[in-house]
Structure 1
Amino acid sequence: MAGIFAGDPTVAAVVFPGAALGILLGTALFFARHHQRYGPMRGWPGQVGLITVLVGVGVAAYAVYPLPRGVDGLCAISGGAAPRFGPLAVLQTAPLAWPSAAHIALAAGVYAAVGLLARYRYRRGAVFAGALGLLLALLIEAVQLTGVLGLYPCAYRVAAVDDVVLGGLGALAGWLVGTAAVRWLPRPWPGAMADMMPPAISRRLLGHGLDLGLWWSGAGTLAALAVAVGAVPRHAGAAAMDIALIALAVLLGLVVPLLRRDRCTPGRASVHLALAALGRPLPAERWRVLLRSALLYTPVTVMFVLDLPWWALAVAALHGLPAMARRDQTGLSDLVAGVRVVTRGAVSGGLPRKLVRYSAPLAQGHDHAPQAVD
């Protein structure tokens, strides 16, 4: 199938960062929705929430990887990987071969995790779990059959009807395991709580990690698209990447925090962090936010542009060492700029949407049930 970049060797440069960008955006949206509805991710329900994210990332990775590095020779021999529409085609080709057994185990295992979470985390029935497994498997096989929706000129992985069947069966098997998990494991559903306490280091690191991933994958996608569509000459691809890194660093690291009430970059905003004024439950002054962003993100951008990304860890270490030593967990850039990292609830006063409050009876004999705060 001819795609929009058919025959262009830059296709791999588009798909690699593009796939990473899509996965990171989905992850950020999940965290944002969770914090908006339930507040901080704590305890066993928080761990189950993180497992849910990992399963989603695993399903997305299973759908597209391993991605070919280029299209040269990909379709030269037989026009790409031929689909297998017949039943039990995988077993008929090599019934006792290790690759076939590994493929079946991987395919069933991916969907089993989906079915387990459907029962244990979301309390869904067997019909829903089986249908979800079939739908996900069908979508994944469509992505493989079309070469990532036409980005590759032909299929690079075998699309098979057997994998769709394995998706449904694997999800049902996972649902049965989830039924046992409901009996033996703690309650996984999060209970909403006010998000006012100082955020943990792990939460702050997660926000920084999302920011770094969105920045790098976004810049790579923009630069590769510019080369692929002819806006930038192919020999200038490295320069286009540098320009995209600088432009997105300014946009995401400087402009976005100045415009947002929580004064945060997109990744840190997805986990509901905020920058507060020193000693006051108010958003930090914009000039302090600008100073902090310049101190923190400028050297990181320079390291990446100079093709020294690992040296950016030195910047992270300089910023994080005071946070590890100080009781208030304040980083070096925060100390210099005079700001503090807090939760969004601490500066906005907002409560999780699923928080339940008790309403006292208005008169004797008239009881009021707990009410959800929306």
Structure 2
Amino acid sequence: MEDQVLLGFIAIAVGVAFGILLFVPFVAVSYRRRGRLGFGRTLLWLAALIYFWAIWTYTLLPLPDPDTIRCVGAITDPMSVVRDVQKALAAPGNPLRHPALLQLVFNVVLFVPLGFFVRVLAGRGILTALAAGFGLSLLVETTQLTGVWGVYPCAYRFFDVGDLMTNTLGAVVGCAVALLVPRTLRGAKASPDADLPRPVTRGRRALAMLCDALAFGFLSVGVGVTVQLWLQFVADDRAAVLDGGLASAAGTIVPSALFLVLILISGRSIGDIAVQLRYTGSPLPAPFARLLRWVGGIGGLSALALLGGFFDLASSLLILIAIVMLFATRLGRGLPGVLSGQHLVDARADIRDPQRFPITKP
């Protein structure tokens, strides 16, 4: 039982980690296909990620020690499912507690979420769910048959045709159950009003700030790791690798510079692009206003981080100020908007037509 709980925690941890990694592009796609980020669909996609990893953790883990494995063959008789049911019914006691029947039920239930996600998230029907269930099950069974694709000298878990059948049945059942979900909440088609402007809210601005923070963090880690690898394997400078100063500096400067270039060219940060926001309307020249906007956000934080020491406290204070000003300024334009003299609009709004899309002044 403890092993099953541990495998569940592993699936959740890995699924959430991938969810965080994919969050910014997910937000961008959601705003372009549906005009907004739906809380329910976001949770469903996160559940789908966790489910995907749960399939592999429960069917392959824990990986055994190669010296302790016992090679097994393959069960290719499809009637083995019928015999397992007969065995459970013929055994004394409650047949619902028989291991053979419990295993069949587990194989069906394990793939029910797959069919559910196929209909609700992908908008596909029974045939697609059947193909997806069979295909994923075949991939799992083949992975077991090949000893995790050659990692082990032989299969240590059975390739079972019965599992293919019950897994596929589970996917079909899940797809049928998903019919209970209202049609308006199912499918992956773009909303017809996705291109229409939506109200600018503090929550939306906060989401843009979160996307900026995640994008900056991922870029920083990527650049830092790249520099460390270069120092280790190209420059062969072990001292610099252990010091970590160069990687840390590069991990701050490079993402900050990329944000600066993006804001100067487009007037929008990665978060603004993701949630379809735009700063506009400053009395200052556009390049200068955009520079000040960068200084009030990623630029200022990066500079303080590079200075270090006492300025680490100043950096924390700037983050606190940014959060406070998110709620203290109109529409959450925050410190970047105050410094640049700009205000927020929906990027899909035609600002040339104030009668259709009036601009709310700060």
User: TM-score of the superposition, structure 2-length normalised?
Assistant: 0.60
2:67 to 78, 87, 105: 78
Q: Counterpart of 2:221?
A: 220
- TM-aligned CA distance change 1:31 to 1:140, over 3 Å: farther
Amino acid at match of 2:302: T
Q: Counterpart of 1:180?
A: 180
- TM-aligned CA distance change 1:215 to 1:323, over 3 Å: closer
User: What's the offset of the Cα at 1:194?
Assistant: 4.4
Q: Counterpart of 2:324?
A: 321
Q: Is the contact between residue 79 and residue 154 of structure 1 (CA under 8 Å) also seen in structure 2?
A: no
Match of 2:332, SS?
Answer: coil
Q: Distance in 2 between matches of 1:168 and 1:160?
A: 17
Tell which has more relative contact order, 1 or 2 (C-alpha 8 A, sep 6+): 1
Q: Counterpart of 1:33?
A: 29
- TM-aligned CA distance change 1:299 to 1:108, over 3 Å: farther
Alignment of 1:246-257 (within 5 A): 246-257=252-263
Q: Distance in 2 between matches of 1:36 and 1:131?
A: 29
Alignment of 1:129-148 (within 5 A): 129-136=129-136
- TM-aligned CA distance change 1:287 to 1:217, over 3 Å: closer
Q: Is the contact between residue 281 and residue 341 of structure 2 (CA under 8 Å) also seen in structure 1?
A: yes
Q: Distance in 1 between matches of 2:328 and 2:112?
A: 43
User: What's the offset of the Cα at 1:147?
Assistant: 11
User: What's the offset of the Cα at 1:175?
Assistant: 0.9
Q: Counterpart of 1:353?
A: none
1:120 correspondence with 2:117: no
Q: Is the contact between residue 133 and residue 167 of structure 2 (CA under 8 Å) also seen in structure 1?
A: yes
- TM-aligned CA distance change 1:296 to 1:21, over 3 Å: farther
Q: Counterpart of 1:371?
A: none
Query: As a proportion of its length, which structure holds more helix?
Result: 2
Q: Is the contact between residue 337 and residue 343 of structure 2 (CA under 8 Å) also seen in structure 1?
A: yes
1:51 correspondence with 2:55: no
- TM-aligned CA distance change 1:197 to 1:65, over 3 Å: same
- TM-aligned CA distance change 1:160 to 1:29, over 3 Å: farther
User: What's the offset of the Cα at 1:202?
Assistant: 3.0
Q: Is the contact between residue 55 and residue 113 of structure 1 (CA under 8 Å) also seen in structure 2?
A: no
User: What's the offset of the Cα at 1:319?
Assistant: 0.5
Please list the CA deviations of residues 15-65 of structure 1 after superposition, one character each: whole Å capped at 9, or x if unmatched. Answer: xxx998865564433332332233234xxxx33432343234324554787
Q: Counterpart of 2:206?
A: 205
Amino acid at match of 2:130: G
Q: Distance in 2 between matches of 1:145 and 1:217?
A: 37
Q: Distance in 1 between matches of 2:114 and 2:321?
A: 40
User: What's the offset of the Cα at 1:343?
Assistant: 2.5
Q: Distance in 1 between matches of 2:334 and 2:131?
A: 48
Which protein has the larger Cα radius of gyration, Structure 1 or Structure 2?
2
User: What's the offset of the Cα at 1:178?
Assistant: 0.4
Match of 1:286, SS?
Answer: helix
Alignment of 1:281-360 (within 5 A): 285-294=289-298, 296-298=300-302, 301-302=305-306, 315-346=318-349
Q: Is the contact between residue 276 and residue 340 of structure 1 (CA under 8 Å) also seen in structure 2?
A: yes
Q: Distance in 1 between matches of 2:184 and 2:322?
A: 37
Q: Is the contact between residue 275 and residue 284 of structure 1 (CA under 8 Å) also seen in structure 2?
A: no
User: What's the offset of the Cα at 1:251?
Assistant: 3.8
Identity %: 19
What is the number of equivalent residue pairs in this alignment?
304
Q: Counterpart of 1:352?
A: none
Please list the CA deviations of residues 158-210 of structure 1 after superposition, one character each: whole Å capped at 9, or x if unmatched. Answer: 9875687675344323212201223xx75446442444344333333333333
User: What's the offset of the Cα at 1:256?
Assistant: 2.4
Q: Is the contact between residue 81 and residue 154 of structure 1 (CA under 8 Å) also seen in structure 2?
A: no
Q: Distance in 2 between matches of 1:221 and 1:130?
A: 39
User: What is the RMSD computed on CA atoms of the aligned residues?
Assistant: 5.3
Q: Counterpart of 2:280?
A: 276
Q: Is the contact between residue 288 and residue 338 of structure 1 (CA under 8 Å) also seen in structure 2?
A: no
- TM-aligned CA distance change 1:323 to 1:26, over 3 Å: closer
Which runs of 5 or more structure 2 residues have no equivalent in the other structure?
Answer: 1-13, 85-96, 353-362
User: What's the offset of the Cα at 1:128?
Assistant: 0.3
- TM-aligned CA distance change 1:327 to 1:252, over 3 Å: same
Q: Counterpart of 2:9?
A: none
Q: Distance in 2 between matches of 1:122 and 1:26?
A: 18
Please list the CA deviations of residues 79-101 of structure 1 after superposition, one character each: whole Å capped at 9, or x if unmatched. Answer: 9999996589xx9xxxx899xx8
Q: Counterpart of 1:357?
A: none
User: What's the offset of the Cα at 1:254?
Assistant: 1.9
User: What's the offset of the Cα at 1:298?
Assistant: 1.9
User: TM-score of the superposition, structure 1-length normalised?
Assistant: 0.58
Q: Distance in 1 between matches of 2:174 and 2:299?
A: 48
Q: Is the contact between residue 254 and residue 293 of structure 1 (CA under 8 Å) also seen in structure 2?
A: no
